[in-house]
Structures are given as C-alpha cells and as structure tokens.
A and B are shown apart, each in its own frame.
Chain A
C-alpha cells in the first residue's frame, strides 16, 4: 500500500488504492459484466434511496434528511427488495452492481459505503447457485489468478463447521455451553451478550469457524439454523434448516445466498419480529418495505439469490489485507 505524506498544500487529496490496484479493479468489473452478459442475465439498477429500509436487527440503514432537517428516506443496505419486486414483475434472471451503505460498519474489511454484486436465478435452489458462484469466481479471477483459487471447492454444513472448529453442535448446545467453548478457545465473551444464543453463535462463527477455514480454498457453509434464516426459506427436516449459504475465501465472508423465501405472510411476520426485537433493544425502527410484501402476495417466482462483496473480491485478487487498499477514496478520505 503506498503511503503518501500529507503535503503542505492542505489536506491529503490523493487516492489510497494504488493505480495498479484500480486497474485490477476495472478489469474485474469488465469480467463481471462479461460473465452475466454471456449467461443472459439482465442488468438492472434500482434506487439507492428508498422510503422503506431493512428491518434486520444487525443492519443499520443510514437516514437521509431534506435541507432543513425533515426526514427524506433511507439509503439501501442491499438492492434485494426492489430486485425481488422486479422478479415478481416477471423480469427473469437479473443482476446488479450496487453501491450500498451500512452505518456503524468500519474496519479492516468494512467501509460504510461499498459495492455489492447481487444476482437472482429463477427456478434455482441454493445448491445450483453455489455452483454458479464457483464458476463466477474463476471467471473473474481470470487466467492470471488461476493459481490463487484452487479447483477444489469445499462445502460443509453449518453444523459440520461448528462441530469441527468450534467444538459444539450449533443446533443443540445450550447458550452456557457455547459461552464455555468460546472461553476455552480464549475468546472473551462480553457479559452484555447475556442469553442471546444467536449472537453467541455469531461470535463463534467470527472467532472460531472463520479463522479455521483455509483462506485459499473457496468454502461454502450451508444449511443455517432457523434463527439465522434472514430471507431464506426453511427446508423441512429435524431440525428444519434455512436454505442459505455463505462463501468464505481469503479469511473473509465473501458472499451470502438464499433459496429465497416466497411466502408473503411469513415474510411480513419476519419483518414484524425484527421490528419487535429492535423496539425491545431501543434501536431505530425503520419503516418496513410493504411494497415487497405486496409483490410477494402477487407472487415471487421460486428463485435463488446471492450477494457478493465486490471490494472483498478485489482484496483477494490484489492480495490486500485492508479494504482501504482497493478503494480509491475510502471513508476518511472523502
């Protein structure tokens, strides 16, 4: 990463990413477009600013005000809702490169504004989409990076990942046991976590499972517990699991995919439950996206969708350890 010295002529105006990295980024963008054009998906672009917002307990949407202070709307955290409305309108397979915004996310792998690549396949399930994500990775990496992404892709279930690397079964372990396992691995568990079992699983995922995965091997973790279903449909079974996957590469979560929930009533119920949980914690309660519920009531086709962090993909291709290295002007420089 080039280090520029602040000049005597005012603030540092220079880009953080090197020009070589920006060229690599541009090449990756060209390959993304070529990949979807070859496969016949329709490129769409949907608004960044919306009257409704994500209700997810762990996503903080940024709110935009009018001059004078009156609220105008919310910046999207992903283009998922309008893309699903397009699917309900019969658009077929669609894709989009979206600039999205998430408040209170900043770190080595997080910038408050980032580029999310999202695509949907009508009539597909999560397993079929995982195969396509794998093809996509190789296409974007290109021949010059062939060595960087091994042929062997690994798939393991959420349960296998936890029993192998965290030392407990995420479907049966009691919260106390999870906390004990975390402590045994040297992860201090904040007292404020209390008996929030889902958050304990998240901590174990981030501190025990993720670091244990081979950073050079694309690894899909699938079949999440129902508490982690988000917008995925549940697969019947004992216990039922969410038909959802996450892709890990380079020691990071790179993509998240769902066999999408299509049941409007269940979707509305999950939004309501999110808002109840937000209220209980004293968090902001953004207006839920009722237009999505209306579209789903009309009929969302059976489909699978995935969102992939484009900046993180560039990090892997560039061998960067900080997201700032692949952004011309990361937050703090713009």
Chain B
C-alpha cells in the first residue's frame, strides 16, 4: 500500500483515515521555534462528507486512498440505482442515492459528470459546474421586464427548483451553476 509523508501533504491529496477515504482540504505546518513540528489538516471524509480537523506529527506517514476521478456519462435511473458509463471503455457503474446526493438534481440522461471511484466503487458523483436544463414549470413571463431584477421560482426537467428572472418562460432552456444553484443565463 502506498503511503504519503506529511511532507507531501497538500490540498486535494486523498488519504485513508480510520478506514475511510478522505481528501485534504487545507494543510498547515506548525512548529514552535525549538520543538516538535506538526501538520494540522482539515479533511473531508469522502464517505460521510463530514469535515474534520486532524493533527499529525510531522514526518509521520499515512496510507494513500485509492481514489480516482473518472469522467462518465449518466445513462438512466432504474428507481433504485443511477447508472453510469465510461465513454471510452463502455465500462458501467451503478450508484445509490447516498452517492448521488449532491448531483441528482442536476443530472440529465446522456450528460457527462465526474464519478469518484474508491477501490473501483462509486463514492461520489459531481455534476458539471454548469448545466443546461429546460424549465418545465414556472409562472408566466413578464414581457420586457429585463431590468427590475425581480425573480421567481422555476422547476427544471430534473426536478431542481431555481430562482430565475421574471422574463423567463416555461419551456426555455437555461444555464445553471450547480455549485451555487444559481441561474446564469438563457440558452437560445
């Protein structure tokens, strides 16, 4: 099993802690002038999503987590599992609701997204930063109102509800930032 020394710690590094895969968010090297050095890190447990602080003695080593991010195409939802495919190899993976928590409101069949695999199993699905989705339900548009800055809720084809400007109509396709859930623009 590969290991990392605390010297190699940097944000984004995937390590195994108490049996769970974690990603380092922040790493701070602290050392009193004449004394033991430490690495204080903020880590996210990739299984539970929880963020924790942890302290290591500098020069300790930690097991690496076999975690890889792979681009996959979202195929379909069978009522229990979401199915994905690696476009180049046609290799398929199924993931459950826990893994899809962040992504399921934004995924449309055929869309590409990032699937994080741990020991070959899906751990997390991340939607693209921007998605283009059709509005299936919203109040009628206020014609010509492009200036007042007013907003209204709109339901998208994936089920997500976002705030859109008043002039947007049902049936239009809009661009949404999935990291914030914010409307970006109309897509013509």
Contact = CB atoms under 8 A, between A and B. Distances in A.
Interface of A: 56, 58-59, 104-110, 186-190, 192-193, 196, 198-199, 201-203, 205-207, 210, 228, 230, 246, 253, 256
18 contacts: A58-B37, A104-B7, A104-B59, A105-B29, A105-B37, A107-B27, A108-B28, A109-B29, A187-B55, A188-B52, A190-B38, A198-B36, A203-B38, A206-B32, A207-B30, A246-B32, A246-B33, A256-B33
A199 B29 contact: no
Most A CB contacts (10 A, CB to CB) among B7, B30, B31, B33 go to B33
Contacts of A107: 27-30
> By CB atoms of chain B within 10 A, which of A107, A199, A201, A205 has the most?
A107
Given A104-B59, A190-B56, A207 B31 contact: no
B54 interface: yes
Interface residues of B, number: 23
Task: Indicate the member of A56, A104, A192, A207 with the most B CB atoms within 10 Å.
Answer: A104
Given A56-B34, A104-B58, A192-B60, A110 B53 contact: no
Contacts, number: 76
Contacts of A189: 55
Contacts of B36: 58, 196, 198-199, 202-203
Interface in B53-109: 53-60
A58 B53 contact: no
B57 A58 contact: no
Contacts of A203: 36, 38, 55
A186 B53 contact: yes
Nearest to B33: A256
